[in-house]
């Protein structure tokens, strides 16, 4: 059974740095072709891809957020961490992590999501 779960602060202040952890089970990030991505969704709006990291440590960032995000993995802990600097109210959203695949970029298992509110 494959599961993913996001954890981190639910409230951050403007200009602060957000750190979210995706803890997963049922698969390994050392398996060839496997990756984990982060996606967010502002209230009432569309999905937006943020970043992903693959089994081979290759990573990609959304061009619009590249200067603010960092993604890392700890294979032994089955965790992927997303860091986003200089948070603003427009970053208020539900943040999801999901398993992805290098071959076809499908996101086949998703976490439940965590709502992050940016407010002073």
Partner 1 sequence: QSVLTQPPSVSAAPGQKVTISCSGSSSNIGINYVSWYQQLPGTAPKLLIYDTNKRPSGIPDRFSGSKSGTSATLGITGLQTGDEADYYCGTWDSSLSGLLFGGGTKLTVL
Q: Mask: binding to partner 1, 31-70, rule CB under 8 A, as x and -?
A: ------x-x------xxxx--x-------xxxx-------
Q: How far is the CB of 16 from partner 1 (least distance, A)?
A: 25
Q: What is the DSSP letter of 65?
A: T
| Backbone CA torsion sign across 29, 46, 116, 67 | positive
Q: Is 25 in the site for partner 1 (CB under 8 A)?
A: no
* 57 Cβ contact list (under 8 Å, min separation 6): 73
Q: What is the DSSP letter of 75?
A: G
**Binding residues for partner 1, per CB under 8 A?**
37, 39, 46-49, 52, 60-63, 96, 98, 100, 104-113
């Amino acid at each position: 059974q494959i599961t993913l779960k996001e954890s981190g602060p639910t409230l951050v202040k403007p200009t602060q740095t957000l750190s979210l952890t995706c803890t997963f089970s049922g698969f390994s990030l050392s398996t060839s072709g496997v990756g984990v991505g982060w996606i967010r969704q502002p209230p009432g709006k569309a999905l937006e891809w943020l970043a992903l990291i693959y089994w081979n440590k290759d990573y990609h960032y959304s061009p619009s957020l590249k200067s603010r995000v960092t993604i890392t993995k700890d294979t032994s802990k089955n965790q992927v961490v997303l860091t986003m600097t200089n948070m603003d109210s427009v970053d208020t959203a539900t943040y999801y992590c999901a398993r992805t695949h290098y071959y076809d970029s499908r996101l086949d298992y998703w976490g439940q999501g965590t709502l992050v509110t940016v407010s002073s």
